[in-house]
């Protein structure tokens, strides 16, 4: 049966085969696919794993920014396919940052689309995410609340340029944009390169990411803040500075603005705020779901503000929706297993934890069972029955076969 769940990453499983998308730990021994270079998605490159995949641009960005990548991942290309048994993984544009991908996982039972972080266009550096007809849609909902409505990119660009040139540079101050080093930073460089003659200075992380964009043909002009030209420009005050969100900046003549999707709910609080986002906003998310026509929507990412997103999907689009959790989700409503399947599953559990008295870690048992084609939920049901009958005992995360129970 086709099933998806969260377990260290997003696990898509079909009859004991599967893939794990954007894992943050090595919880399942399936081939790994990394959607893009942002740290919360590319953690897999920081631990050893057997088989990993990413686009070349993603690998270059990760290496340029973190300086290391523990593996030599296999290269994916947008539009390309990788076959793993009965499962085929197709790589599609996500429109988020350079090299960002969505993954379409095709199985004999249906199509799963995992968006990763995605954006629906109206940008200076990226093309909008591709829309795919799918059965199960696993969607990133960072900005899945009606409070998030992002302005047209051209209007935002004009606002940013006006603030920098008319309000700040004219006073002899330097406008500073604090933003994501990968994605938004290159968008701001492009805006200032195209709309103004104001030179752009970048701090180290932004420079490194922008150098990779340049390698892939993006026509960006900027000076690193530590280079001779950069130092000179900062002294003259006639430039715009682009820094990562966390960078510590000192200087009386600096005027700081935040450029981020979050700015749309922080307007006017501290420094200047510009709602520049490389994610879909609320209306964008609903429109995307409608076009993909899924049978079920599983949401990920987001905080307190976006908790109600699945309910919006149900109410406005009439599509079954819920947050993706550790529990396995299938295309069908959970029908209890038929008796022969239950018996097969129980027998498989017993042969997996076959040494009486020996302690097995539950997570390992679940992954072994998955390799034999039993979903997480089926194994859980079988474990409950075996516990009831005294055949196994479970303490915390450990499973033990009882010798007495077997008699």
Q: Which is nearer to Zn ion, 38 or 208 (CB)?
A: 38
Residue span binding Zn ion (CB under 5 A) among the ranges 111-119, 196-204, 311-319, 367-375: 111-119
Residue span binding Zn ion (CB under 5 A) among the ranges 40-48, 191-199, 219-227, 339-347: 40-48
The only residue of 13, 22, 57, 117 in contact with Zn ion, by rule CB under 5 A: 117
Q: Which is nearer to Zn ion, 13 or 140 (CB)?
A: 140
Tokens 């490194």 map to which residue?
Answer: 208
- Tell me the helix, strand and coil percentages in the chain, rounded to 5: 35, 25, 40
Residue span binding Zn ion (CB under 5 A) among the ranges 33-41, 71-79, 143-151, 330-338: 33-41
State the nearest-atom distance from the C-beta of 42 to Zn ion, in Å: 9
Q: Which is nearer to Zn ion, 15 or 139 (CB)?
A: 139
State yes or no: residue 60 binds Zn ion (CB under 5 A). no
Our CA angle for 288, 25, 51, nearest 5°, is 85
| The two three-digit tokens of residue 222, written as one number | 């900027």
Binding mask 148-187 for Zn ion (x = CB under 5 A): ----------------------------------------
Residue span binding Zn ion (CB under 5 A) among the ranges 113-121, 160-168, 306-314, 380-388: 113-121
Q: Categorise residue 152: left if φ over 0, alpha if ψ from -120 to 50, beta otherwise.
A: beta
State the nearest-atom distance from the C-beta of 302 to Zn ion, in Å: 10
Residue span binding Zn ion (CB under 5 A) among the ranges 115-123, 281-289, 352-360, 367-375: 115-123
State the nearest-atom distance from the C-beta of 126 to Zn ion, in Å: 12
Distance separating alpha carbons of residues 181 and 39, to the nearest angstrom? 11
Q: Which is nearer to Zn ion, 234 or 242 (CB)?
A: 242
Distance separating alpha carbons of residues 122 and 377, to the nearest angstrom? 41
Q: Which is nearer to Zn ion, 186 or 375 (CB)?
A: 186
DSSP state of 246: T
How many residues interact with Zn ion (rule CB under 5 A)?
Answer: 3
Q: Which is nearer to Zn ion, 117 or 381 (CB)?
A: 117
Residue span binding Zn ion (CB under 5 A) among the ranges 6-14, 58-66, 110-118, 355-363: 110-118
DSSP state of 264: G
Q: Which is nearer to Zn ion, 40 or 56 (CB)?
A: 40
Q: Categorise residue 306: left if φ over 0, alpha if ψ from -120 to 50, beta otherwise.
A: alpha
- The closest alpha carbon to 95, from 138, 124, 75, belongs to 124
DSSP state of 263: G
Residue span binding Zn ion (CB under 5 A) among the ranges 38-46, 185-193, 302-310, 366-374: 38-46
Q: Lay out the sheet containing 329-330: strands in order across.
A: 74-76, 52-55, 32-33, 17-21, 10-14, 2-6, 329-330
Residue 64, strand partner residues? none
- Residues 60-93 as b/e (b if ≥16 CB within 10 A, e otherwise) read bbbebbeeebebebeebebeeebebeebebbbbb
Residue span binding Zn ion (CB under 5 A) among the ranges 10-18, 31-39, 190-198, 228-236: 31-39
State the nearest-atom distance from the C-beta of 37 to Zn ion, in Å: 8
State the nearest-atom distance from the C-beta of 38 to Zn ion, in Å: 3
Strands 2-6 and 10-14: antiparallel
State the nearest-atom distance from the C-beta of 153 to Zn ion, in Å: 18
Distance separating alpha carbons of residues 296 and 286, to the nearest angstrom? 13
State the nearest-atom distance from the C-beta of 46 to Zn ion, in Å: 16
Residue 83, strand partner residues? 88
- The closest alpha carbon to 296, from 166, 138, 60, 155, belongs to 138
Q: Which is nearer to Zn ion, 6 or 272 (CB)?
A: 6
Residue 174, strand partner residues? 254
State yes or no: residue 38 binds Zn ion (CB under 5 A). yes
Distance separating alpha carbons of residues 399 and 353, to the nearest angstrom? 8
State the nearest-atom distance from the C-beta of 74 to Zn ion, in Å: 21
Q: Which is nearer to Zn ion, 40 or 154 (CB)?
A: 40
- The closest alpha carbon to 389, from 322, 355, 343, 357, belongs to 343
State yes or no: residue 22 binds Zn ion (CB under 5 A). no
Binding site for Zn ion (CB under 5 A): 38, 40, 117
């Amino acid at each position: 049966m086709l099933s998806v769940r969260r377990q260290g990453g997003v696990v898509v499983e079909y009859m004991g085969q599967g893939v794990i998308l954007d894992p943050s730990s090595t919880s399942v021994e399936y081939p790994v696919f990394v959607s893009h270079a942002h740290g919360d998605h590319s953690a897999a490159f920081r631990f050893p794993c057997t088989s990993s995949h990413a686009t070349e641009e993603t690998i270059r960005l990760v290496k340029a920014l973190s300086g290391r990548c523990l593996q030599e991942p296999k290269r994916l290309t947008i539009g390309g396919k990788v076959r793993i048994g009965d499962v085929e993984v197709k790589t599609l544009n996500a429109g988020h940052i350079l090299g960002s991908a969505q993954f379409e996982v095709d199985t004999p039972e249906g199509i799963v689309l995992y968006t990763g972080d995605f954006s629906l266009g109206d940008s200076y550096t990226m093309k909008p995410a591709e829309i795919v007809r799918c059965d199960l849609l696993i969607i990133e909902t960072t900005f899945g609340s009606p409070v998030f409505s992002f302005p047209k990119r051209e209007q935002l660009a004009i606002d940013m340029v006006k603030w920098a040139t008319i309000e700040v540079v004219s006073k002899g101050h330097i406008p500073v944009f604090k933003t994501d080093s990968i994605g938004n930073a290159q968008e701001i460089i492009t805006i200032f390169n195209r709309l103004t003659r104001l030179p752009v200075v970048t701090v180290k992380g932004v420079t490194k990411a922008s150098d990779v964009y340049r390698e892939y043909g993006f026509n960006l002009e900027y000076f690193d803040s530590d280079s001779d030209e950069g130092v000179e420009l900062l002294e003259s005050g006639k430039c715009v500075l682009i820094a990562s969100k966390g960078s510590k900046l000192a200087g009386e003549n600096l005027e700081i603005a935040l450029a981020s999707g979050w700015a749309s709910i922080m307007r006017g609080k501290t420094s200047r705020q510009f709602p520049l986002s490389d994610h879909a906003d609320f209306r964008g998310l609903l429109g995307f779901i409608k076009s993909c026509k899924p049978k079920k929507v599983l949401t990920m990412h987001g905080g307190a503000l976006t908790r109600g997103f699945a309910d919006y999907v149900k109410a406005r689009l009439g599509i079954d929706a819920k947050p993706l959790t550790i529990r396995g989700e299938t295309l069908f409503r959970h029908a209890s297993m038929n008796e022969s399947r239950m018996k097969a599953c129980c027998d498989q559990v017993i042969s997996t934890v076959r040494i009486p008295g020996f302690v097995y870690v539950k997570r390992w048992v679940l992954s072994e069972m998955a390799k034999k084609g039993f979903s997480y939920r089926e194994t859980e049901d079988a474990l409950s029955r075996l516990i009831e009958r005294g055949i196994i005992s479970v303490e915390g995360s450990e499973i033990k076969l009882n010798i007495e129970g077997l008699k």
